[in-house]
Structure 1
Amino acid sequence: MTTEHLLKAENLSLGYKERTVIEGLELTVTPGKVTAIVGANACGKSTLLRSMSRLLSPRKGQVLLDGKEVHKTAAKELARTLGLLPQSPIAPEGITVTDLVGRGRHPHQGVFSRWSAQDDAAVASALEATHTVELADRAVDELSGGQRQRVWIAMALAQETDLLLLDEPTTFLDVQHQVEVLDLLTDLNRSRGTTVVMVLHDLNLAARYCDQLIAIADGKVHAAGDPADVLTEDMVRAVFGLDSKVITDPTSGGPLMLPIGRHHMVASAAGELPEHRS
C-alpha cells in the first residue's frame, strides 16, 4: 500500500502573460481516492494540473504537498511522490516503447545507482497493465494515437508514485480503451491506494469511475464532492451552459447526465457506456 499524502491549493492564482486563468482557487485533493476535474474548455483544468505538479509557478497563493510548497521542492524529490501525465506529450524521435516507459524510473535513480531488477519489474508491470507488451520493441513514433497514449500511461505507472495526475488520459482512445484505462486506474487505486487526479471531458465516465468530482468555472471551484452531489442539472447549466436531464445510471447507481439538444430531444448515452467492473 502507498503512503497517503495531502495535496492542496491555497488562494491559488494562475495565468499566462496578461491572461488570468485561475483566481483565488481553494482545493483539497482527498487522499487515497480517484478524483476527476471537470469543466468547460479553457476553464483552467490543465493549467491547474500543471501548477499542482510544479510545472507552472503561481502568481499568488501556493500548492502544498504534506504542508510543503511544491514549487520549493526539488523536481526529482517531488517526482518520487507525484507523477504527471500531461496533455499531448512528445516522445524523443526514434525512442522505443521500452525505453520511454523506462524513463519513468528516472526519479528513482541516484547519481551512482545502476538499473536494477526492481526497475525491470516496474517497467514490465506497467507494460502488462496497459496491454502494451507486444509494442515493447516498436518505435513510439510508429504507433497509432491510441497506442501512444497507452504507452505514456505505462511510463506514468512505471514511476510508481503515491499520487498520479493525468491530463485527459483517455484522449485518442476509442470507447473500449477508454474504459480499459479507467478500469486500470481504478484497480491501481484499490490495490495500492494510489491517489489519482485526472482531467476528464466525459461527465458520465467521470461520475461512474471517480470518488470525487471537482467542477471548475470562472477560475474557481464551482462544486466539489461526491458525484451524486456535484453532477446535477444546475451544475451542468452553470458550468457548461447546457440544459440536461440527470437520472440514475442503471449500471452504477450513480448520476447519469443526458444532454438536451436545441429541439428538446434527449440524446441518450446510456447504451454507449460499457459495463464497469465493480
Structure 2
Amino acid sequence: MTTTLTTEALTLGYGDRTIVSDLSLSLPAGKITTIVGANACGKSTLLRGMARLLTPAHGRVLLDGHDIHSMPTKQVARRLGLLPQSPIAPEGITVTELVAQGRHPHRRTFARWTAAEDEIIADALEATGVLDLADRVVDELSGGQRQRVWIALALAQQTEVLLLDEPTTFLDVCHQVEVLDLLTDLNRSRGTTIAMVLHDLNLAARYADHLVAVREGTVHAQGTAEEVLTEHHVAAVFGLDARIIEDPTTGRPMVLPLGRHHVRGLRDVSPVNRGNHHDAGKVSPAS
C-alpha cells in the first residue's frame, strides 16, 4: 500500500506567532513534490509540522488517514523520515556509525545487531556513492559528501515518505544536481514519496512532479511546474519580476529574473500582464 501524507487546515507557530495558517496539502503518493517560497514564508515550519516535530495550534497531519500525533513514535519513524536543514553529526562519528542510526526505529530494545541490518546499511552507502567513505569521520568530509551520507541514513531508515529541508544548501551546482539525481533515483526505484524545500526555482521545476508555492504561511499555488511557475505567480510569491521561458533540455519552465541592469526591451512590461509562460517566449525586441 502507498503511504499518504496530508495536512488539513494546519496552523503552526512558535509561541504567539503564527507561521503556517489554515494550510491544507496532500503529497502525491510515490511522487516528488518541491516546495518553494520566499524566505520566512513557512516552508521549513510546514515540514516540521508534517514530521510531527511541531504540535498544531489547529488542524491535523494525517499519515494514511490517521492523526500523526496519535500514532506511536517508532511507528511514525518507520514510515516517515525528515532530513533537516544543516543536520549536525555527533563529534567523531564515522559514516557507517551515522548511517546505522537509521535502523533505530526498526530495532527492538536490546535486540542483537543482525547481518541483514549490515546489508541494509551497505546498500544505502552504495546507493549514495559513499561506500568508500564508510570508515571516514563525518566531520572530515566535504559538504557534498556529508549530504550524501545524510541521505544514506534516510535510505537505511527505509521510510515510505521522506521530507528534506533544503537538501542542496551550501552545495555547488555539480553537487546540487548530484543530490537531486540521487533523490530521483530513490523515488523511481523504491517509489518513495519525497517532499523537499528548494530555493532554486529552476531546479525545483526540473525535478518536481508536483510543485507547491507557499506565500505567508498558506498555499498560494500548486500543480505542475507549468501551472505554478508563471510570471504572475512568481511575482506574487517572491515579489520578483521575471521572464518564464521553456527549458531547452527538459521542456519545463525556466525562470529568468529581471534585474534593473540586464533587461532588453522589457522595462515597460508589467508582470501582471504576462500571466503564463506560454506568452513568455515572445521576447520584445531590444530598444
TM-score with structure 2 setting the length: 0.89
Matching residue within 154, 157, 165 for 1:156:
154
Aligned to 1:22: 20
Structure 1 range deviating more: 118-127 or 248-257: 118-127
Aligned to 1:115: 113
Aligned to 2:283: none
Give 1:264 shift: 4.5
Aligned to 1:66: 64
The letter of the residue matching 1:161 is T
- Is 1:238 the equivalent of 2:236? yes
Give 1:124 shift: 1.1
Distance 1:173 1:132 in 2: 16
SS at match of 2:45: helix
| 8 Å CA contact retained: 1:149, 1:171 | no
Aligned to 1:203: 201
Give 1:13 shift: 0.5
The letter of the residue matching 2:109 is V
Please list every run of 5 or more consecutive structure 2 residues that lacks an aligned counterpart in the other structure. 265-287
SS at match of 2:29: coil
SS at match of 2:9: strand
| 8 Å CA contact retained: 1:132, 1:151 | yes
Aligned to 1:8: 6
Aligned to 1:133: 131
Give CA deviations for 1:76-127 in whole Å, capped at 9, x if unaligned: 1101111110111111111111000010111111124322222112211211
The letter of the residue matching 2:145 is Q
Distance 2:116 2:176 in 1: 29
Larger radius of gyration: 2
Aligned to 2:165: 167
Distance 1:246 1:119 in 2: 47
Aligned to 1:260: 258
Number of residue pairs aligned between Structure 1 and Structure 2 = 264
Identity level (%)? 66
Distance 2:85 2:77 in 1: 17
Aligned to 1:223: 221
Please list every run of 5 or more consecutive structure 1 residues that lacks an aligned counterpart in the other structure. 267-278
Distance 2:72 2:169 in 1: 30
Matching residue within 81, 84, 87 for 2:85:
87
Give 1:265 shift: 2.6
Matching residue within 63, 73, 76 for 1:75:
73
Distance 2:167 2:246 in 1: 26
Give CA deviations for 1:116-171 in whole Å, capped at 9, x if unaligned: 22211221121112221222111112222222222111111111111111111112
TM-score with structure 1 setting the length: 0.92
Aligned to 1:247: 245
Distance 1:49 1:116 in 2: 33
Distance 2:69 2:227 in 1: 33
